[in-house]
Chains A and B, each alone.
Chain A
Amino acid sequence: MTIEFNTETFRGDFTYHNSAEAIARFPFPFPEDKYMYSVNIEPHVSFRPGSVYEHPFDVDEHYVSEVADRALVLNEDPLRSQSLPHMNLAGWDLLELLMTNLSESYPQWFELHQDGDRWHWINRPLGIDDTFTFLDNTTLPYGPMEYIMRQTQGDYALLDQRDDNLWMDAGVITTQADWSLDFDIGMNFMEWHGPVPLAHELGVFERALKFLLNLRQGQPVRRLNWTMTVHPRLDTSPENYAKWGVDRATVTPENAGEYMYLRVELQSLWRLPRSNAIVFPIRCYLISLQDLVTIPKWGRRLHRVLRDLPDELADYKGLTMTRPSVLQYLSQFDDGAQTSAGTFPD
């Protein structure tokens, strides 16, 4: 597969764009015309060549620009990358997981040569060629987690497992859907999900936690989550909410197709071998509504999902103010025809 990496921005002039191929492989998250929470976890196995599910860690046309946006965020606010002291080993686990998988999936871009603890890493798209000693922090320019995260799309949280719970004790979080690592670091699974409405009452988190505590090495799982943002802004952090929150008031039925983006997170979960921690990659995909409706099934379905979404959920996802304009825009593309099952285009 050959990809040209886009030159684009996720702030300011927002030049982010999806090619026709990127639209076709967008991970549309709704298998039916309605949405409610569920423990929608499935094995993270390779599926549909060309799709975002082909490789364990998807690298797409936005890679180079996303990494550049992450560097901007970390420069402005180093608290977006934090690791409690006991999580250093998990950081090395993560570095190993990514380097081995990326070099297997994309040998044209990434190479890893291991000679005992002496590792040689080449990242061609970013022009990186480094040699370091595995498990020796002093041989890398950053801690192991931050080093590899500065070369990776998507946010990653590292979860320590103890006392029958998972603890978010490290992470690099720069493309988040309105939650703060700096505030949440050190919380357990129930605590960091505290602000999510309805799901606690449905027992969703209890079941998910029990499942994850038993997650096995070599058997990663995945799920999709979604929300919407105004503009293709990756950094919708609570830290900067006072800056991006105002965008919501600018959305009208006329500009919703251009301004509003469906934001889908491909989340996977992996047991790490050395630390027994779990790594939780949260990979974000963005698509404008005007691009999304070029797939007729998706335009129809998104209209129905948003129309029937419970108010508490719409509020949690920050849609209360923009939903009327979005619905008015999307209604043009919903002729009432039946949609086929599953998430892929017809």
Chain B
Amino acid sequence: MTKSADRTPKIDVRVTQIVDVTSEIKRFRFEPTDGKPLPVFAGGAHVVVEMEDGDTLRRNPYSLMSSPGATDAYNISVRRDPGGRGGSMFMHDRVTVGSLLRLSHPVNLFPIDRRARKHLLFAGGIGITPTLAMMSELARYGDAFELNYAVRSENDGAYLDQLRNTYGKRVSIYRDDQGEQIPLTTLLAAQPLGTHLYVCGPGGMMNWVLSTAEGLGWPAQNLHSERFLAPPSGSPYEVRLAASDLSIKVGPHQSMLEAIEAAGVDAPYLCRGGACGQCETRVISFDGTLLHNDHYLTDDEHAGGQKVMPCVSRFEGRELVLDR
């Protein structure tokens, strides 16, 4: 069993409801096992769901789709993706009501820009999930918004009736199989100055919406899209700690710093985020590639291979020897 040495705070939850939304999409309800309120989140936020799948620790980010402010439970929707890394298949096939999972605290990489005079939302397919939470929030604060939502068909579209019933004319649904298309150019040209645009959906759709808007003179500052950053994981590797006379293994979801700590070697750190420079470690020798992920070292230092920030950086290759 892989044990995570990740020290960031986590939330233990129990799955209390699983709903088949469409033939491909399931909705999961998570409630905290300790009964305490969950952290508040905002529209656009996601959590990283940790799944212990045998010896593999999977970590997948999913947008929170419940109403922001509801702290008794979180809801996510997961689309079955047989070609993915395996997380969605695990959620669909192995997770049942009563299953225990672990979540990260909410993170928002797709926040609402509150300066906007109006919010123009675009969603495609499963990309509807962050949009649901955003609209719930915008409606609560009385902000102007509209949603344009593209789906394959009435049956494949998630939450169509709920959206029509709740938001009426503020929602326009476009069904591929009916030949319906978002009238993008007309729509974009009609927006009042100060409108902000948000898009979440398949890559092709996002590119189409964003490039059309740019072509009509929309500034980059008014364009927002959801881009999930992959968790800082990678292939496992070995590190030789010369000063401690130890060889350690770094797991795929473990940082070099965590592995050093797990081996009982005291290593300095402050931020654990690649910025403060406290954990800077001298590289004695290496045969392979240092994967620098920090913001601290300069480009020249990254190229030089003399230093590494073990809190976020990784290694691929035959041998890495550190002065630690």
- 30 A-B contacts, Cβ less than 8 Å apart? A39-B271, A39-B277, A40-B270, A41-B275, A41-B276, A42-B271, A43-B271, A43-B272, A87-B114, A89-B141, A162-B111, A162-B221, A206-B295, A207-B276, A207-B277, A207-B295, A211-B275, A214-B275, A217-B41, A217-B107, A218-B39, A219-B8, A219-B9, A219-B105, A273-B41, A273-B42, A274-B40, A274-B68, A275-B42, A276-B44
Is A208 an interface residue when CB atoms closer than 8 A count as contact?
yes
Q: Is A34 an interface residue (CB 8 A)?
A: no
In contact, A273 and B275 (Cβ under 8 angstroms):
no
Complex partner residue of A276 from B111, B272, B275, B276, CB under 8 angstroms: B111
Decide if B221 touches A214 in the complex (CB within 8 Å): no
In whole angstroms, how far apart are the Cα atoms of A157 and B276 in the complex? Answer: 22
- In angstroms, how far is the closest chain B Cβ from the Cβ of A216? 6
Q: Are A211 and B105 in contact (CB under 8 A)?
A: no
Complex Cα–Cα for A85 and B115 (A) = 8
Residues from chain A with a CB closer than 8 A to the CB of B298 are 203
- B residues 92-116 with Cβ under 8 Å of A? 105-108, 111-115
Please indicate the chain A residues that have their CB under 8 angstroms from the CB of B114 in the complex. 86-87, 89, 160, 275
Interface residues of A, CB < 8 Å — how many? 32
Task: Confirm or deny: A190 has a beta carbon within 8 angstroms of a beta carbon on chain B.
Answer: no
Tell me whether B111 and A86 are in contact (CB under 8 A). no
B221 close to A41 (CB less than 8 A): no
Interface pair A211/B39, CB less than 8 Å apart? no
> Are B276 and A39 in touch, CB under 8 angstroms?
yes
Residue of B nearest to A163 (CB): B221
Residue in chain B with minimal CB distance to A88: B114
A160 to B115 CA separation, bound complex (whole angstroms)? 10
Residue B252, interface by CB 8 Å: no
Interface residues of A (CB under 8 A from B): 38-43, 85-87, 89, 96, 135, 160-163, 203, 206-208, 210-211, 214, 216-219, 221, 273-276
Chain B residue numbers with a CB within 8 Å of A206 are 295
Q: Are B40 and A273 in contact (CB under 8 A)?
A: yes
Report, nearest first, the 7 A-B pairs whose CB atoms are least far apart: A211-B275, A86-B114, A276-B111, A273-B40, A210-B295, A218-B105, A42-B270
Kindly list chain B residues whose C-beta atoms are within 8 Å of the C-beta of A42.
Answer: 270-271, 276
B108 partner residues in chain A, CB cutoff 8 A: 276
Complex: chain A residue closest to B277, CB-CB: A39
Q: Which residues of A contact B113 (CB under 8 A)?
A: 86, 162
**Distance A218 CA – B271 CA, assembled complex (angstroms):** 14
- The smallest C-beta distance from B116 to any residue of chain A, in angstroms, reads 8
In the bound complex, residues from chain B placing their C-beta under 8 Å from that of A85 are 115
Interface centre among B106, B271, B296 (most CB of A within 10 A): B271
Please report the C-alpha to C-alpha distance between residue A275 and residue B43 in the assembled complex, in whole angstroms: 9
Report yes or no: B295 in contact with A211, Cβ–Cβ below 8 A: yes
Instruction: Please give, as numbers and ranges, the residues of chain A lying within 8 Å of B125 by CB-CB distance.
Output: none
Q: Is B234 an interface residue (CB 8 A)?
A: no
A residues near B112, Cβ cutoff 8 Å: 276
**Nearest neighbor of B40 in chain A, beta-carbon distance:** A273
Nearest CB on B from A158, distance (A): 12
Is the CB–CB distance between B296 and A207 below 8 Å? yes
Known: A41-B276, A43-B271, A89-B114. 20 other contacts (CB 8 A): A39-B276, A86-B115, A89-B141, A96-B40, A135-B140, A162-B113, A163-B221, A207-B295, A208-B275, A211-B276, A216-B8, A216-B105, A216-B107, A217-B105, A217-B107, A219-B9, A273-B42, A275-B42, A276-B44, A276-B112
Question: B5-47 vs A: 1/0 string, CB under 8 Å?
Answer: 0001100000000000000000000000000000111101000
B288-303 residues at the A interface, CB under 8 angstroms = 295-296, 298
Give CA–CA (A214, B8) in the complex, Å.
13
Q: Report if A276-B42 is in contact (Cβ < 8 Å); known contacts: A39-B276, A41-B276, A221-B271.
A: yes
Interface centre among A42, A161, A163 (most CB of B within 10 A): A42
A42 to B129 CA separation, bound complex (whole angstroms): 35
Residues of B contacting A208 with CB < 8 Å? 275
Residues of A within 8 A of B106 (CB): 217, 273
Task: State A211–B44 Cα separation when bound (angstroms).
Answer: 21
B221 and chain A: residue at smallest CB distance: A163
B105 A41 Cβ-Cβ under 8 A: no
Pairwise interchain contact B8-A274, C-beta atoms closer than 8 A: no
Q: Are A41 and B271 in contact (CB under 8 A)?
A: yes
User: Which residues of chain B are near A39, meaning CB under 8 Å?
Assistant: 271, 275-277
Which B residues are CB-close (under 8 A) to A163? 221
In the complex, B273 has a CB within 8 A of chain A? yes
Q: A207-B295, A219-B9, A276-B42 are in contact. Are A214 and B111 (CB under 8 A)?
A: no
Complex Cα–Cα for A306 and B295 (A):
31
Cβ contacts B64-79/A at 8 Å (1 or 0 each): 0000110000000000
Residues of A within 8 A of B68 (CB): 274
| A39 to B274 alpha-carbon distance, docked (Å) | 11
CA distance A38 to B270 in the complex (A): 12
A38 to B141, CA, bound (A): 41
Complex contacts, A221 vs chain B, CB 8 Å: 271
CB proximity of B139 to chain A, nearest CB, Å: 13
Q: Could you tell me which residues of chain B, from 240 to 276, have a CB within 8 Å of some CB in chain A?
A: 270-276
Q: A89 — which chain B residues lie within 8 A by C-beta? A: 114, 141
Min Cβ gap A225→B in Å is 15
Using CB atoms, name the residue of chain B closest to A162: B113
Are B40 and A210 interface neighbours, CB within 8 A?
no
- Residues of A near B275 (CB, < 8 A) are 39, 41, 207-208, 210-211, 214
B277: which A residues are within 8 A, CB to CB?
38-39, 207
Please report the C-alpha to C-alpha distance between residue A49 and residue B167 in the assembled complex, in whole angstroms. 52
Q: How far is the CA of A160 from the CA of B44 in the complex (A)?
A: 16
Contact flags B277-316 to A (C-beta < 8 A → 1, else 0): 1000000000000000001101000000000000000000
B196's nearest neighbour on chain A, judged by CB, is: A162
> Which residue from chain A places its CB closest to the CB of B140 in the assembled complex?
A135
How far is it, in angstroms, between the C-alpha of A211 and the C-alpha of B294 when the chains are bound?
Answer: 10
Q: Which residue of B lies closest to A274 (CB)?
A: B42
Whole-angstrom distance between the alpha carbons of A160 and B40 in the complex? 18
Chain A's closest residue to B68 (CB) is A274
